[in-house]
Structure formats: structure tokens, C-alpha cells
A and B are shown apart, each in its own frame.
Chain A
Amino acid sequence: MSTTDASTRYSQPGPYFGAYGGRYVPEPLVAALDELSAAWEHAKTDPVFQTELADLHRNYTGRPSPLTEVARFAAHAGEARIFLKREDLNHTGSHKINNVLGQALLTRRVGKRRVIAETGAGQHGVATATAAALFGLDCTIYMGEIDTERQALNVARMRLLGAEVVAVKAGSRTLKDAINEAMRDWVTNVATTNYVFGTVAGPHPFPAMVRDLQRIIGDEARAQLLERTGSLPDAVCACVGGGSNAIGIFTAFLDDPGVALYGFEAAGEGVDTPRHAATIGKGRPGVLHGARSYLLQDEDGQTQESHSISAGLDYPGVGPEHAFLADAGRATYRAVTDAAAMEALRLLSRTEGIIPAIESAHALAGALELGRELGPSATILINLSGRGDKDMVTAGEWFDLIDRDAAQS
């Protein structure tokens, strides 16, 4: 059966995804990773855990998230039919909450009282602080100093929720350094602390566990689209930084050979400039933050700084399962510039009354081009992974929307 072949070929349990993944971590962390792996293996088939999580999804997050057809937007994409999976409507405003609630439940099961997390734009930090408040856990969020300045409102949000926010001053003072600092905290405090990792990167079990917790996006969307149109989409689109929203929507379609999968990385100011975050497009395999995957690095293996207008995609690594899917040819990865993403953000706002996160706008821009390639008979599913409220300062500056006199008064 082709379906069986496809599932053994593309569905990987971890720790390895083809040549990628693994656990490239200091020995002191291995016991914690083993403990987490065992707890997750048990929880994911435990009906009590699954019932608790399903209740949180429904009554706290507001799942299932809707599927919205966007005909006025699609008129700009070669008249293809386009559907948005509305993760922007989740509590806290993005798909990040799906993963965080699962890991918070798991933290309680392993008997720990404190959670730590890294955050770039602040979405994962806000989601983790939210879950910590809900579960009564102590919470420390590591955030690059530059990001704390770029995302001051999210810092305030996390503090209001009761979290301690640590501005990381090391290295490039962005997401990659926040992860380093969170790992140092974890090595030191592993007896009391669980690391709630935000994406499908990092050492095993994080890529597999976060994938399992995010696959609800694609599982819901696949059923919703079948019910709505009677068929599967021709293409599924998502933005890729670390890659959790993309894996979340791709996983349900891995064994559907007729469904093309597209991940859109951040091209920043252009993939031929040094200022981009197109890890799969321009990187080479290497090890960062505990896993082997594609990586933006110099010839000496030093990690290079990435750039994107979107803090959530501004990461020089990518999850190992994406590296595997790219090499296997199952998913296609393209890059979208800052400028193209911002145009798509404005277009969706004006045609549909939906202001997307700049991250998600990369998927929208990619789909606009893809729709023109595929033509009017195509159906395209896009993961709208987050809402754009957090990006209003950036958008206001980009489009010159803020009245300077009013802003100063």
C-alpha cells in the first residue's frame, strides 16, 4: 500500500529524522531529557492526560480554531481557492499555546514546580507565562536584550502574568542567545525545573514532542477542509523559523502524496545579502542547540547571525524534521523577503479584515506566488499561525502609519 510506504518513509518518531536530530547536549542534561522522553511517551497514550489536554484546548484556548475561506485575498493569487487555518484566534494569539499547555501538564506530571522558556518575539514567552499562571508554576523567561527592547509590550505582558523576564546580554542578544541562557539555567536547576521549549528544534524529545502537540492544527484543518470542499488541498503553506507551526500543519498531510507542502523561510533583505534567515535555503548541516540540522554558519562552524523583520523567524537554525523533509523532497522550502511579507500583511488586512502576524505574512506572501503558479483550479491551505497586534509598531513604521505629533503628545 502506498499509504503505508509513505508513513514509514516520512513519519519519524525521533530522536533521528534521517541524518538529523539527536541529542548534542552536555551530559548533565541527559537525565532530564530521558525523564522528559519517558514522561511524554507515557502521556501521549494516556487517556487521562489526553482528556485534560482536550478540555484545555476546548475551554481555555478556544479550539477547534476556524477555517476561513478568503476569496477577496485569493483574487490576488491567480484565483486559487485559499483557506486560512485561524491559529491567530487562539487564546494568547498564536499557535504557541497548543504546545505550551501540553508541556505545562507534563511539568505537573513529572512533579516540577518551575518552568523556564526562551522567547524571540515574545509569543512563546507569553504563552508559557500564561500556562504557568494557570497551573501555579514559577516561571522565568529568557529573552535577548535586543528583543526586550523591540517587544517591550510583550515583556510587560509576561510580567503582568507573574513571570520573571531575564534580558540576555550575551552574544547577539537575540533568540539564539536566549536559548543558550535557558539551557544554562536548566543545567543548573534541572532538579526543580522543566524547560518548556517553544519549537520543533533542540535535542530529543523536543522536536518530536512539540510536533505531537502541534499536529492538532493539521488534524483539524484536514477534517475541516474535507468537510467543506470534499477534497484535500493541492498545497499547504506555512512560515518556518524553528518550524513548529509548519510541522503542526504538515504532519496530517505527510501521507497524502497529492498534497504539496511548502515552508516559507525569512529572506530578510534578500538571500543574496548577509541579512536573512533562510536556514534551509542557504545553510549547511551542523549542530546547534542540541540537534543536527541545517544551520547558518561560517566556514569555521561559528553560528551566523540571522535577520528578519519578524522576530519569530529570526533564527539561524531550523527543526531537524524540516531538514529531513527538505532532503527527502517531501516538503519544498522557499524564502520570502521582509518587503513581500509586509505587502501580504497589508493585503490580507485590506481584503479580509484580518491583520496577521508578520511571521504568518511570510506564508501568505508565499501562497500568493504559489497561487499564480498553480492557477484557479487549485486549493491552498495556509496556516495563519498568529495575529498581528504585537507587530503594530513595526507595521506602523514600515507603512508610515503613525502620526508623529499624535505619538509624541
Chain B
Amino acid sequence: MTAGTAVSPVEARIRAANTERAGAFVGYLPVGFPDLATSIAGAIALAEAGADVIELGLPYSDPVMDGPVIQRATQAALAGGFRLRHAFEALREITAAVDAPVLLMTYWNPVLAYGVERFADDVVAAGGAGLITPDLIPDEAAEWLAASDTHGLDRVFLAAPTSSDTRLDAAVAASRGFVYTVSTMGITGARADVDSAARTLVARLREHGATNACVGLGVSTAAQVAEILGYADGAIVGSALVAALADGGLDRLTDVARDLASGTAVLPAGR
């Protein structure tokens, strides 16, 4: 398939969610927590509970964008023997079981160490849709831009409230699937209020041509999902799902995911 002309499966799924409902619910879980089999079952349960897109986190030794909940989970996965090949195993099993497209969320060094081309090959072979790269900005991404084009993979870059107009242009131009809209200045973790900065940033991204802007960081309740989908195309939840899996296993994860997905049911006024 030729990238650029083909419609990205992530983009198509988010568009469909915006036609049928208020928007998309994007859910994150790390591979290997609390163990490989449960993490795979967890991602499948998450999709079955209503997540439109799955973000599968790749545990990394130095996760500078992550708050305590995700740090604890990914460090436990590493201590439990997580290896890169487990991410591809998980990706293969999850994509075989669910329709929701699956993105790998990974810090950059594991991809570099594996080889960018080889990594892209193996993501495609395992049925993955692409990568979210929290510590790779488009300025440093030449090799990944080329590899993702050749392999027809999505690539999600971040936009922040502090990003200049020039940088928003670059993020929109480089991203395929969606633009990861950082709701607030900070790291992952549940917050009582999702910053009003997110609303402003989504509006700015639209001015710069973004068709899919999903908001993440601090989102943990169905009410927040509904509020975000009033102005954005998707709401991203991570820590709240990881905490549910850690505290109450697959049952608790399913309950929390269903509740979060209910936040997509409400069509906002005027839509």
C-alpha cells in the first residue's frame, strides 16, 4: 500500500467514531504488566469495552514523560523480564483478536537499538498500525518519517501548549493517524481538571490543518472524556486504566474502560 494516498486505519477509526458518536476513546496499557499474558488480555478487554484505538506502551528504563502510575507498571514489566520481542508477540495476539487499530507507544532508543527499518517491518508483520513517539520530535525523525512512509505506518507526534505556530505546522504535517494533543504542561497521570489549555491548543491545531486531534494527559473520568470530545476528535486515557488493572485486575479494568467509553456516547450540542 502506498502511504499518503491510503487512509490510515487509525484516522478512519477516529473519523467513524466522530460520525457515530461524540468521538473516539483511545486507551493505553503497557506490555508485560502485570505479566505478558494479562497485558494481552487487558488490551483485548479494553477494545471489547469500547476503546476505538489501543495504545500499547513499550516499557523503557528511562520514561521521562511518565508519571508514577505508568512508571511503576513499566518498571515492574522490566523487572519481570520484558523483552522487545514480547511487544511484537503482544501486538500479533491483540490485533488478531480485535478490530481496533493498535499503535505502539515507545520512547525512541529501543527503536534505534532494534533498527528503525527492522522495527517498522516487525510492526507491520504483527499487524500494528504505527507508533506514538513521546521523545522524538519531527526535527529528529527523518529516518522514521522515511520508514513509516515505506511501510504505510501511522506516526503520532506531540503538540504542546507551548509549541510555536511553526512547530504546530510541523507536528500536523509529520503526523498521520492523529496529533497527540498534550492537555497540560506535565507528565502522565490523572488530574481533577483537564486544563483549558487543551481547548485552545486543539483550536490552534485546527487552524494549522489538523483533521484528527486527540487530547491526552490527566484524563481519567467519563465526564472528562465527554467534555474533551466537545472540541476534540478523541480522548486518550492511560494512568486511570493502568491503575484499574493494577488494583482490580481484568474485571476492574473492564468496568473502568466501559465507564470511560460511555463518555463518547453523548453527542455535544451543535453536532
Show the binding face of A for B, using Cβ within 8 Å: 22-28, 30-32, 34, 170-171, 176-177, 180, 183-184, 187-191, 284, 286-290, 295, 297, 299-303
Contacts and interface: CB of A to CB of B under 8 A. Distances in A.
Interface stretch (B135-143, B222-230, B257-265): B135-143
Given A27-B167, A300-B84, A180 B185 contact: no
Interface in B33-73: 60-65, 67, 71
Given A191-B185, A301-B114, A288 B62 contact: yes
Interface string B116-153: 00000000000000000011110110000000000000
Contacts of B164: 31, 34
Given A27-B163, A28-B185, A187-B186, A300 B158 contact: no
Contacts of B108: 24, 287
A113 B186 CA distance: 19
B14 interface: no
B137 A23 contact: yes
Among A28, A30, A188, A286, which residue has the most Cβ atoms of chain B within 10 A? Answer: A28
A188 B186 CA distance: 4
B160 interface: yes
B194 interface: no
Given A25-B137, A188-B185, A302-B110, A171 B61 contact: yes
Nearest to A287: B109
A27 B182 contact: yes
B269 interface: no
Nearest to B87: A300
A27 B64 contact: no
- Give 4 closest A-B pairs by Cβ, nearest first: A301-B113, A31-B162, A28-B160, A301-B110
B5 to A, nearest CB: 28
Interface of B: 60-65, 67, 71, 75, 78, 83-84, 108-114, 134-137, 139-140, 157-164, 167, 171, 182, 185-187
28 contacts: A23-B140, A24-B140, A25-B64, A25-B135, A26-B160, A27-B137, A27-B157, A27-B160, A27-B163, A28-B186, A30-B160, A31-B160, A31-B163, A171-B61, A177-B62, A180-B62, A184-B187, A190-B162, A191-B185, A286-B113, A297-B109, A300-B84, A300-B113, A301-B109, A301-B114, A302-B78, A302-B110, A303-B62
Nearest to A184: B187
A34 to B, nearest CB: 8
Contacts of A290: 135
A290 B134 CA distance: 12
A188 B167 contact: no
B113 A297 contact: yes
Contacts, number: 112
Nearest to B171: A27
B153 to A, nearest CB: 19
Contact of A27 (B83, B112, B158): B158
Contacts of B111: 301
Contact of A287 (B71, B78, B112, B134): B112
Given A25-B135, A171-B61, A301-B114, 17 more contacts: A23-B137, A24-B136, A24-B140, A25-B64, A27-B157, A27-B159, A27-B182, A177-B62, A180-B63, A187-B185, A187-B187, A188-B185, A189-B185, A295-B109, A301-B60, A301-B110, A301-B113
Among A23, A295, A301, which residue has the most Cβ atoms of chain B within 10 A? Answer: A301
Given A23-B137, A171-B61, A287-B112, A30 B163 contact: yes
Contact of A26 (B62, B64, B78): B64
Given A187-B185, A187-B187, A287-B112, A303 B171 contact: no
Among A22, A31, A191, which residue has the most Cβ atoms of chain B within 10 A? Answer: A31
Contacts of B134: 26
A180 B109 CA distance: 15
Contacts of A288: 62, 109
B110 A30 contact: no
Nearest to B67: A184
Contacts of A34: 164
Contacts of B61: 171, 302-303
A69 B185 CA distance: 52
Nearest to B108: A287
A302 B113 CA distance: 9
Contact of A176 (B62, B157, B186): B62
A31 B168 CA distance: 12
A395 B146 CA distance: 53
Contacts of B84: 300-301
B137 A286 contact: no
A176 B64 CA distance: 11
Contacts of B167: 27, 30-31
A318 B164 CA distance: 31
A183 B64 CA distance: 7
A124 B150 CA distance: 46
A180 B61 CA distance: 10
A286 B115 CA distance: 11
Contacts of A303: 61-62, 109
Contacts of B62: 171, 176-177, 180, 288-289, 303
A301 B112 contact: yes
A191 B195 CA distance: 15
B179 to A, nearest CB: 10
Contacts of A30: 137, 160, 162-163, 167
A174 to B, nearest CB: 12
Contacts of B186: 28, 187-188
Contacts of A171: 61-62, 75
Given A27-B160, A28-B158, A302-B78, A286 B112 contact: yes
Nearest to B66: A184
A159 B2 CA distance: 60
Contacts of B60: 301-302
